[in-house]
Amino acid sequence: MRLPTCNTTKRGRYVRLLLLAAGLLASAMAWGTGSACTVLTEEDGLQPLAGCQWRDGRLALDATALAALPYDQDGLAAVYAGGGFHYVRADGRQLPVITFDNGPDYVVEGLVRGRVGARIGYFDTQLRQVFPATFDFGWAFDDGVARVCQGCRPGTPDDHGHIAMVGGTWYRIDRQGRPAMDADAP
């Protein structure tokens, strides 16, 4: 009985295609498990944070990572993951915040600007929302009022990479989110 012959060139191509497909599948599975986080430190800037991953649009921190974070006087630690900064508390509560001056937004007058979907909201240092997030953009509070806009959008970056918000309706709000003095003034 004669055994059928095998074309080694065809077989080699088939094996290479199977290996390529397996490699792509493995990388997609690794990508889906999340990516690493970094913690912002005063001494060394952004550093890898063991025990933290970005999964399904949220930080996943284990107890070791929470314990290792450098919390500030407000009890907040800055973690970078998923393309943005997040404040984290020792109890695991977290909030995505806007990037300002190449870092997480500052706490001003006890409030920080956080992201709620595509909207901007204001949160206290316990990371509790102080009123509904209904703004397309908002500045930090100054002397009890903040400039906010509805319908504005990011403009063209300048030579330094700063992006101004353009268009929309601008007005001021008080600390309860209500329109404040000279509501139509920018």
What tens digit of pLDDT does each residue of 47-100 get? 999 999 999 999 999 999 999 999 999 999 999 999 999 999 999 999 999 999
Alpha-carbon dihedral angle through residues 65, 71, 76, 79, given to the nearest 10 degrees: -40
Q: Give residue 87's pLDDT.
A: 98
Nearest to 138 by CA among 122, 161, 157, 158: 122
Q: Give residue 161's pLDDT.
A: 85
Q: Give residue 101's pLDDT.
A: 87
Q: Give residue 84's pLDDT.
A: 95
Q: Give residue 35's pLDDT.
A: 65
Sheet order of strands, 119-124 included: 58-61, 45-55, 35-41, 77-81, 84-88, 94-97, 111-116, 119-124
Stretches where the chain sits below pLDDT 70 are 1-35, 181-186
The Cα-based distances of 38 to 34, 48, 54, 104, 129 in angstroms read 13, 4, 10, 13, 25
Q: Give residue 18's pLDDT.
A: 34
Q: Give residue 129's pLDDT.
A: 97
Sheet order of strands, 169-173 included: 137-138, 146-150, 169-173
Q: Give residue 45's pLDDT.
A: 94
Show the tokens assigned to 18: 């199977």
Cβ-Cβ contacts under 8 Å for 103 (sequence gap 6 or more) = 40, 78, 85
Q: Give residue 25's pLDDT.
A: 32
Q: How many residues does the chain have?
A: 186
Q: Give residue 155's pLDDT.
A: 95
